[in-house]
Structure 1
Amino acid sequence: MTDMTAERAARKPRGERTRARRIRRARLVRTTAFKLTIVYLAVFGGLALGLIAYISNTTKDIIDRQLEAAIEGESAELVNEFRRTGLFKLMSTIERRSMRPDANLYLITDFSGNPIAGNVAELIYDPADVVTGAAFPVRYTRLVPAEGAERATHRALARLSVLGGHYRLLVGRDVEDRIEFSAIISRSIRGAMVVVAVLALLSWAFISRVVLRKVDAIGGSTRQIVAGDLSRRLPTDGSGDEFDRLAVGVNTMLDEIERLHAGLQEVSQNIAHDLKTPLTRVRNRLDEMLRTHTEGPEREATLAATIEDCDQLIRTFDALLTIARVESHTTAVALERTDFSAVVEDMGEFYEPAAEDAGMQLVVDVTPGLAIPGEPTLLRTMIANLLDNAMKYGASEANIVELRLQRVGDDAVLTVRDHGAGVAEGDRARLTDRFVRMDAARSKPGAGLGLSMVKAIVGHHGGQLSLEDANPGLAVRISLPLAS
């Protein structure tokens, strides 16, 4: 019983290994490399076969034409000799030529078809192939075999000429060498095709295994990423091949996704924190009114404060929706040629009373006639957010806010600068993130979405946004391309 159990245990791994090998082979057959190998093999094999066949047929045609020309030339020479010297001299010439080791075929027959001279013992041919004055195929046996050769039937091309007195002359050449040459070419073609097929299959096996290893590595990484490990990246080997370039591109995308995911988590936490406070205040005020039955001016003040908190919540959600629409390029109005100088001047005039009420001086310096492809409402929203921030956080002894528009090259450059305490260099990059507020701004109203909206609008217009140290204060500089 123990031996049988051990045998089954030993047999099971072998069965699993066999199944694994079958699965691997099935995967190899389904790979693109296998399909491409079959296509390349068919195309290359067909082209190679066609080329070799063309060369073979062309070579045989050339040899046949040379043979026919040689036979025709020798036949004409012997016919002329017959005409000059007569039959007996021709017979002597043929007998002499027939004794050569590499002699051609010669045969003279009388009017009854009986051989009277030559080196052909037996001649076999199809009468339908015989055309006087043209070469035709025959089979023959030599009367005197070449030295060391067995007496056997060979194939040849022959030409029949009619002599005077009803005599006939047949001159031919052996074609066994040509036939053997054709056979060698045929065998070479078959051998070459076998070699090509074997090399193609070996190449397919090697390429498929290499490709499958890379695909399996990529698949393993993607499964871990899908499982939630956004820090995982596709493997690269620095080879620069297609898989390496694909992995680099996907890894770049994953870096951006991880950054966006981290930003989403931070935004979610900030939303929860910034919305919880006004909602809690609204709830507490309403609860107090319900418990104390507040009446008169105190009730009106409580309701006014509650409405203000609700309005702040609405403004926050409106800002989030505006940012989302602008970043997704789904704003209802397309960009059109806009007089940016006029928009900036209008916003400067609009904010001058607000600056005076805040005890600040608004300096406006606008270069006239600068037009850009833009959406006026979004541009006004952008400038309003910048001026609100500058007046809210730029309080100083000077109490000056600057609004300037200049032309720099092919761009219209808008600068909004305050003379306040400024922002530390390490914190400036975070100012355009949603719901980010510096510690000094926590005591002031706002949701931390102003510069996020500015960044989205600038991106929608194809511009550049930079936050710079104005020493003192902060300078927000926006470059927008001028209209052509």
Structure 2
Amino acid sequence: MLRSLYRSTAIRLIAPLGLAFLVFLLLAGFAAYLLIQGELDGRMRQQLEQTFAVITQSYAESDLTDLTELVRSHAAANPRDQRVFFLRDGNGLKLAGNIDQAPGGTGWSVVPGAALGLDADDSYQIYSGSAADTELTVGASFEESDAVGAIVRNILGLAGLAFTVLVVIAGLLIAVRGQRRINGIASTMDRVGRGELASRIPLRANHDDLDDLSVQINQALDRLASLVEGMRQVSVDIAHDLKTPLNRLSFTVQNAIDDDEAGKPIAGLLQQAQEESRQINTTFNALLRIAQIESGARRARFKPIAIEPVLETLFDAYEEVAREQEQELVFNAAPLPHIIGDRDLLTQMFANLIENAIRHCPRGTRITLASVVEPDKAFSITVSDTGPGIPAAERDRVFQRLYRLDKSRSTPGHGLGLSLVKAIADLHGASIDIGDNNPGLRIAVRFVAQLAMSAAP
């Protein structure tokens, strides 16, 4: 548990962030400490300067006795461990003061208590200057400023310690909470890896980034489950739909063997076997083509193409076929923008839709190939007919591989035409809408605006 927390992203993010804040706190505290110490030292110097000025300006000129008494009174009024005073004559002899000695020279200096003849360990800020024919020294202990500095240092230390403890506690809480959710995601993915495709990551109501990630993973798992179910269904459908032709092929081959042994002609049976094998091969080729399209491999062949000439070519090709079936094929096309796509696949997609309409509609049916440009520059290409249509309950299933309506099982085909249409549309980012034509069926392939290029010249 501790190792997983140490390796968790939350801890690795919070640790440097907390350290940065701690360093900032210490630097800010140190700067504040220096400012406070500087302010206290400045005030101490100002007070010493004022005391020196009061003493030197409060005695009559050349009145050494008056000056001596002033120094004695100030020395008596202040304990020598707080304030020190020292007055000596020109020969260096002590005249007054509460210390026994003082360093020579004038101006500011910091001296230890021992240099002033004191037993205290404190240091002193002293100021020395001339007063008449004497030298006056006044000073103050750093004890008060040191005490304030110690308080500031203690406060900073406690604040840093408290901040560190809070960061550690907050980091652990966040890491534990995040690790539980990550463990939940890992557990779900582990179950999915063992084949439990219905497993999903539980979501929370706070809609944070982990929730967003979980939603995306759940959506991916939904698609995965759908694909696996689709593959399973395809396997079942292939086994079901190819079982009959394979049985017929086996039966035909066996009959040919028996007739050959009996000396009967077998050319007709061999032709039947060839036709059955050709139909099976066609089915497998269609399945492989759909798989290739769904893999996106054909996207490398995309280029700008004009869709109108494709529709015109298909109309010219199938108009006579429809007339032979005593049907009418009509073409109503609006000017369309160029799109990015694969010309061969788009041609096959619309050819499949037209062929389906011709194959499954009775005589006298009117089949319309039309295109419409929408206000948002998207456009739709529709194939509609006035035939029997498809029941509403069956419409979503006609795009499944090998699925055929009951009424269509007596007609030639392998149930992959609309599956191929769906695969090509998905490859081009187009959507398919299937609905009533009142009467008949209407299938519309809608291309989104971002696939549309500048209008054809």
The answer, yes or no, to whether TM exceeds 0.5 is yes
How far the C-alpha of 1:330 sits from its partner, in A, is: 1.0
Distance change in 2, residues 1:241/1:184 (3 Å):
same
Question: Which of 132, 150, 175 is matched with 1:183 structurally?
Answer: 150
Name 2:111's counterpart in structure 1: 137
Distance 1:216 1:444, change over 3 A: same
* Deviation, structure 1 residue 296: 12
**Counterpart for residue 44 of structure 1:** 21
Tell me how far apart the structure 2 counterparts of residues 38 and 374 of structure 1 sit (CA, whole Å).
Answer: 51
Number of equivalent positions: 448
- How far 1:298 moved relative to its partner? 6.7
Secondary structure of 1:421's match?
coil
* 1:70 alignment counterpart: 47
Residue deviations 1:28-69 (CA, integer Å, cap 9, x gap): 444344444433342222111111111001211122123223
Pick closer, same or farther for the CA change 1:215–1:131 going to 2, 3 Å.
farther
> Does the CA contact (< 8 Å) of 1:337 and 1:374 recur in 2?
yes
Instruction: Call closer, same or farther: CA 1:29–1:342 in 2, change over 3 Å.
Output: closer
In structure 2, what is the equivalent of residue 116 of structure 1? Answer: 95
**Distance of 2:344 and 2:417 partners within structure 1:** 15
Aligned mates of 1:303, 1:120 — CA distance in 2: 134
Q: Deviations over 1:437-477 (max 9, x none)?
A: 11111111112111111112122222221101112111111
Task: Sort the Cα spacing of 1:403 and 1:38 in 2 relative to 1 into closer, same or farther, 3 A.
Answer: closer
Q: Say if 2:256 and 2:270, in contact at 8 Å, map to a contact too.
A: no
Please state whether the residue corresponding to 1:229 is helix, strand or coil: coil
* Aligned equivalents of 1:390, 1:295: Cα separation in 2: 47
150, 157, 160: which one aligns with 2:125 = 157
Amino acid at match of 1:172: G
Q: Alpha-carbon deviation of 1:108? A: 0.7
1:62-461 residue pairs with structure 2 within 5 A?
Answer: 62-76=39-53, 78-79=55-56, 84-101=61-78, 104-121=83-100, 132-139=106-113, 154-165=122-133, 167-293=134-260, 299-331=266-298, 334-368=301-335, 370-395=337-362, 398-409=364-375, 410-461=377-428
Structure 1 unaligned residues grouped into runs of 5+: 1-23, 146-150
CA deviations over 1:419-449 (Å, ceiling 9, x no partner)? 2211111211111121111111111111211
- Output the CA distance in 2 between the equivalents of 1:399 and 1:241: 57
Instruction: Report the alpha carbon displacement of residue 348 of structure 1 after superposing the two structures with TM.
Output: 0.6
1:324-348 Cα offsets, whole Å, 9 max, x none, are 2222221175322222111101101
CA distance change for structure 1 residues 357 and 106 in 2, over 3 Å: closer, same or farther? Answer: same
Query: Paired residue for 2:38?
Result: 61
User: In terms of mean alpha carbon deviation, does 360-369 or 210-219 score higher?
Assistant: 210-219
* Distance verdict in 2 for CA 1:427–1:175, change over 3 Å: same
The answer on whether the counterparts of 1:395 and 1:419 sit within 8 Å (CA) in structure 2 is no
Bigger mean CA offset, 303-312 vs 268-277: 303-312
Deviation track 1:90-110 (CA, whole Å, cap 9, x = no partner) reads: 223323333435884321112
Secondary structure of the structure 1 residue equivalent to 2:383: strand
For 1:468, what is the secondary structure of its paired residue?
A: strand
Cα separation, partners in 2 of 1:389 and 1:266, compared to 1, 3 Å: same
1:69-117 deviations in Å (ceiling 9; x for gaps): 3333443554556794543332233233334358843211123433211
Q: CA RMSD in A?
A: 3.0
Change (3 A) 1:330 1:60: same
Give 3-state SS (helix, strand or coil) of 2:210's partner.
helix
**Aligned counterparts of 2:263 and 2:306: Cα–Cα separation in 1:** 51
Asked whether the 8 Å contact 1:413–1:479 carries over to 2, the reply is yes
Gaps of 5+ in 2: none
Q: What SS is found at the alignment partner of 2:398? A: coil
Report how far residue 159 of structure 1 moved.
1.1
In 2, the alpha carbon distance for the partners of 1:73 and 1:351 equals 114
How many angstroms apart in 2 are the aligned matches of 1:172 and 1:238? 69
Could you tell me which amino acid in structure 2 is paired with residue 416 of structure 1? V
Change (3 A) 1:230 1:45: same
Cα 1:471–1:285, aligned 2, differ >3 Å: closer, same or farther?
same
Q: Is the 8 A contact 1:138 1:158 kept in 2?
A: no
Aligned residues of 1:418 and 1:475 also touching (Cα < 8 A): yes
Contact map agreement 1:237 1:244 (CA 8 A) in 2: yes
Q: Quick check: 1:435–1:447 contact (8 Å CA) kept in 2?
A: yes
Moved more, 276-285 or 422-431: 276-285
| Aligned equivalents of 2:303, 2:211: Cα separation in 1 | 43
Mapped partners of 1:324, 1:344: distance in 2: 25
Distance, in Å, in 2 between the alignment partners of 1:267 and 1:83 is 120
Tell me the amino acid that sits aligned with residue 244 of structure 2: T
Inter-CA distance 368–310: structure 2 relative to 1 (3 Å threshold): farther
SS of 1:120's partner is coil
How many Å separate the matches in 2 of 1:59 and 1:371? 76
Q: What TM-score results when the alignment is normalised by the length of structure 2?
A: 0.88
Deviates more, 1:79-88 or 1:348-357: 79-88
Give SS of 1:483's match: strand
Name the amino acid aligned to 1:42. Answer: L
Task: Return 376-385 or 104-113, whichever deviates more.
Answer: 104-113
CA distance in 1, matches of 2:27, 2:101: 39
288-297 vs 381-390, which moves further: 288-297
**TM-score, structure 1 as length reference:** 0.83
Change (3 A) 1:336 1:209: closer
Contact 2:299 2:342 in 1 (8 A): no
